[in-house]
Amino acid sequence: MQTVPESSSGTHDLIGIVRRRLMYFVFITPPIVLLAVFFAFWLKPRYQATATILLELSSVPTNVVQTTVVSYSDQQIEIVQGRVMTLDTLKHLVEEFDPYPENTSSVIAKAQRVLESTTLEKVDPVSMKPVSDESNAFSLHYINPDRERAAAVAQRLAQLFLTYYQRTRTESAHDAAVFLQQQAEVVVGQMREVEDELAKLKGVQGDALPELREQNQGALERTERELDALQQEILTAEAKESQLSEELGQTSPNLMTHAGELSDVATVRANLAEAEQRYTPDHPEVKRLKQALQTLMAQNSAAPSKGGISTTADNPQYVMTATELESARRELSALRAQEVRYKEKLNSYEELLRRTPSVERTYSEIMRRRQSLQTDYQQIQDKLQNAQVAQNFEAEQRGERFVMLRAPSPPRSPVYPNRIGLISMGLLLGLGIAAVIVAIVETIDSRIRDAYDIPQITDAPLLASIPRIRNPSDRMRRRLLYGTLGLTYGGAIVFVVMVVASALRY
């Protein structure tokens, strides 16, 4: 008895099944594949355009130019997205460039559709592949039924990110400079008020300010020294005036001739004293001298005087003494007037020094405020200068900025539907359904078809086998079946090709 190897038998069975059930694969798999191809190209495609943007750090070190704008981290890319991807912003984009001209919806509805069709994902700035970790680069995806419009809208959306980020940084730097300028103006106004208060205090208190304390003290001491010296001169002048007054009082203003001698009151008194020592009171010489003294004193009493000085004096000695006395009196009067001025000046300095402690509290408070405001003003000016440099720095785009790593271009194939995936799925689905049906049919089929099935049923030896002989009728039915099948599949293929061509054309 002839035996068949097991492996050879399994392969022969598989080949036999495929040959017997080929029509199942022919009738099931191609229609499903054609249907998948039809749907793959019949469904309205949507194209995705992608722009990749990098948050580039400044090339200028922060110790060279310190910007006033808070640096954005990669987590804040979502914040920028939330501020850019708004209906108000997208409404202007739709008004400038309509992404859906065939749609008659409102501008707000189209802006909402653009918002829903746009997505962001973080990518590696080198490989451009999506990453789940933090990254300073991201890709902006926009989907549109038209590939050209998809690229145009993606370009505009990316430009919104670039311009918005740069505009906000420039505006932030400008706002910081404006704020510091306003603060500087406020401090300048406060400094003017303090200066006005200081000027008013100086106008009211004059030289009693604490800053003039040493000057006033020095002037006081100098005035005291000058007053002491002046008082010494006054004492000397008073002594001289007293002496001259006494001499003048003892000198007769007029001349009296007696025995050819020139006499005055002092001389007559001296002669009278000498005569009284020599003679008795009744002596004629004594009487004569007494009479002469009375006459001279009567003349002196009757003569007009100015300041105790006779104006009709004709005694040269008297006139000379009187002149010296008048000069001494004028000098003494001038010294006493000068003493009064010095005392007034001294009192003025003492009053200034007495008022200084009470003025000092107000003056010190004003000066502290003035110094504090000057310090604040200087600090604000330093910050303002840095802010102005930072403003120019941001305006020239030398700081942190968004740059385009990859500009969007019209996509070659749609992102939906996935044509290759859909066709592959149709092929696998067709083969799978056909294989399942063949397996079911083979399981329930118990017929003997060739010599290889005999050992599975009985141990009787095989004597001979008669091959299958097809008659003309069988061949005709076979040709008719294949022809009908060919025509059907041909028409389906032509239809699908037309659909594919139409889809590829647009």
In angstroms, rounded to a whole number, what is the distance separating the alpha carbons of residues 85 and 282? Answer: 148
No. of helices (H) and no. of strands (E), the chain: 13, 6
Residues 10, 109, single domain; the answer is no
The series of mean pLDDT values per 10 residues for the chain, 506 residues long, is 49 67 76 79 82 73 46 61 82 88 87 89 84 82 89 89 76 79 88 84 68 75 85 87 79 55 64 80 79 69 56 71 83 87 82 74 81 88 77 61 83 77 81 84 69 59 65 76 72 69 62
Q: Is residue 423 a contact partner of residue 40, using CB atoms and an 8 Å limit?
A: yes
Give the count of beta carbons closer than 10 Å to the beta carbon of residue 99: 22
The answer to whether residue 332 is domain-embedded is: yes
Q: What is the pLDDT of residue 142?
A: 92
Secondary structure (DSSP) of 41-70: HHSPPBEEEEEEEEEEPPSS-TTTS--SSP
Angle at 48 between CA 44 and CA 53, to 5 degrees: 170
The one-letter amino acid at 283: H
The answer to whether residue 205 is domain-embedded is: no
Backbone angles phi, psi at 138, to 5 degrees: -150, 155
Q: Tokens 């704020």: give the residue.
A: 179
Secondary structure (DSSP) of 401-442: EEEEEE-----SS-SBS-HHHHHHHHHHHHHHHHHHHHHHHH
In angstroms, rounded to a whole number, what is the distance separating the alpha carbons of residues 370 and 250? Answer: 73
Domain count, the chain: 3
Task: Extract the tokens encoding 423.
Answer: 């066709």
pTM: 0.49
Angle at 60 between CA 56 and CA 62, to 5 degrees: 100
Residues 76, 107, single domain; the answer is yes
In which domain, by residue range, is 153 found?
47-184+382-406
Q: Which residues pair with 48 in a beta bridge?
A: 143
Long-range Cβ contact pairs of 365-370 (< 8 A, separation 24 or more): 366/194, 366/197, 366/198, 366/201, 367/198, 369/194, 370/191, 370/194, 370/195, 370/198
CATH number of the domain encompassing residue 91 = 3.30.1890
In angstroms, rounded to a whole number, what is the distance separating the alpha carbons of residues 387 and 393? Answer: 9
Residues 264, 397, single domain; the answer is no
Residues 131, 276, single domain; the answer is no
Q: What is the pLDDT of residue 458?
A: 59
In angstroms, rounded to a whole number, what is the distance separating the alpha carbons of residues 495 and 499? Answer: 6
Residues 367, 390, single domain; the answer is no
What is residue 487's three-state secondary structure? helix
CA dihedral 101→102→104→107, nearest 10 degrees, is -30
In angstroms, rounded to a whole number, what is the distance separating the alpha carbons of residues 408 and 50? Answer: 5
Residues 229, 152, single domain; the answer is no
**For residues 436-475, b (16+ Cβ closer than 10 Å) or e, as one string?**
eebeeeeeeeeeeeeebeebeeeeeeeeeeeeeeeeeeee
Secondary structure (DSSP) of 240-305: HHHHHHHHHHTS-SS-EEETTEEE-HHHHHHHHHHHHHHS-TTSHHHHHHHHHHHHHHHHHHHS-B
The answer to whether residue 309 is domain-embedded is: yes
Backbone angles phi, psi at 74, to 5 degrees: -65, -25
Task: Extract the tokens encoding 26.
Answer: 């022919």
The one-letter amino acid at 428: L
The answer to whether residue 19 is domain-embedded is: yes
Last-in-domain residue among 363, 379, 395 = 379
In angstroms, rounded to a whole number, what is the distance separating the alpha carbons of residues 167 and 170? Answer: 5
Residues 225, 368, single domain; the answer is yes
In angstroms, rounded to a whole number, what is the distance separating the alpha carbons of residues 211 and 215? Answer: 8
Residues 356, 501, single domain; the answer is no
Residues 466, 479, single domain; the answer is yes
Enumerate residues 6+ apart whose C-beta is below 8 A from 377. Answer: 184, 187, 188, 191
Residues 38, 98, single domain; the answer is no
Q: Which residues pair with 263 in a beta bridge?
A: 256
- Helices 419-444, 22-42: crossing angle, 10 deg rounding: 160
Q: Is residue 248 a contact partner of residue 309, using CB atoms and an 8 Å limit?
A: yes
The answer to whether residue 416 is domain-embedded is: no
The sheet with strand 118-122 has its strands ordered as: 118-122, 137-144, 47-56, 401-406
Residues 284, 350, single domain; the answer is yes
Q: What is the pLDDT of residue 62?
A: 47
The answer to whether residue 179 is domain-embedded is: yes
Residues 320, 399, single domain; the answer is no
Q: Is residue 113 a contact partner of residue 26, using CB atoms and an 8 Å limit?
A: no
Size (the chain), residues = 506
